[in-house]
Amino acid sequence: RKEVEQDPGPFNVPEGATVAFNCTYSNSASQSFFWYRQDCRKEPKLLMSVYSSGNEDGRFTAQLNRASQYISLLIRDSKLSDSATYLCVVNLGDTGFQKLVFGTGTRLLVSP
Amino acid sequence: DGGITQSPKYLFRKEGQNVTLSCEQNLNHDAMYWYRQDPGQGLRLIYYSQIVNDFQKGDIAEGYSVSREKKESFPLTVTSAQKNPTAFYLCASSIRLGAMNTEAFFGQGTRLTVV
């Protein structure tokens, strides 16, 4: 089983739609979680961290479910500019070190 | 401005040659990482380093080597032993100890092509 798994998509949605991605991780000792956004042929950039209590940043909401070992990203009112690949990232290390593991990404295409 | 810089942006290598990719950061981060990304694929960890003079193999270390002589620098050498080196290489850094939710910051990447 892969350490971090995502549905590769693509998810094709119209502008204004709500879309959700899930990501599962295999190591129950994982410490921290992130969503990154990667545009075509560019480096990944942090979208948001994922906190145990869930967190929201504008149109984006991230949730963590430790019992089921998955994190989710919800995007409301999709914009054309949201088209990108969204990478789930899990820190498999403990407080002594970090090992960041990336999922393969979920591609989102928002159309007019 | 603080950040992480990779060079060169594009690199062409002849088969059988070793090449070194540069990665420098001025964020005072302890941890540094090298990832490889192939078209349509996710990032795969090559090597990572938590402190100076220490580094660990990632999932695909064969055919690569690294050094960490300075906190700011983590160069990656792609050796002739790497059978399929054409890829997009990304360097990242993050704070190592004590902090929760310590995200990684990426350089702009180096596209390596074997000709």
pLDDT tens track for A76-88: 999 999 999 999 9
CB B14 within 8 A of CB B115: yes
Average pLDDT of chain B, as a whole number: 90
Instruction: Determine the distance in angstroms separating the CA of A18 from the nearest CA of chain B, rounded to an integer.
Output: 24
Q: With 50 as the cut, is the pLDDT of residue A63 above it? A: yes
Confidence of residue A3 (pLDDT cuts 50, 70, 90): confident
* pLDDT for the residue numbered A96: 52
Q: With 60 as the cut, is the pLDDT of residue A92 above it? A: yes
pLDDT tens track for B1-36: 669 999 999 999 998 899 999 999 999 998 899 999
Question: Is A105 part of the contact surface with chain B (CB cutoff 8 Å)?
Answer: yes
> Taking CB atoms and an 8 Å limit, are B43 and A44 in contact across chains?
yes
pLDDT winner (highest mean) among A90-94, B2-6, B73-77? B73-77
Task: Please tell me which of the candidates B103, B106, B109 has its beta carbon nearest to residue A34.
Answer: B103
Q: With 90 as the cut, is the pLDDT of residue B46 above it? A: yes
Task: Please tell me which of the candidates B31, B43, B96 has its beta carbon nearest to residue A102.
Answer: B43
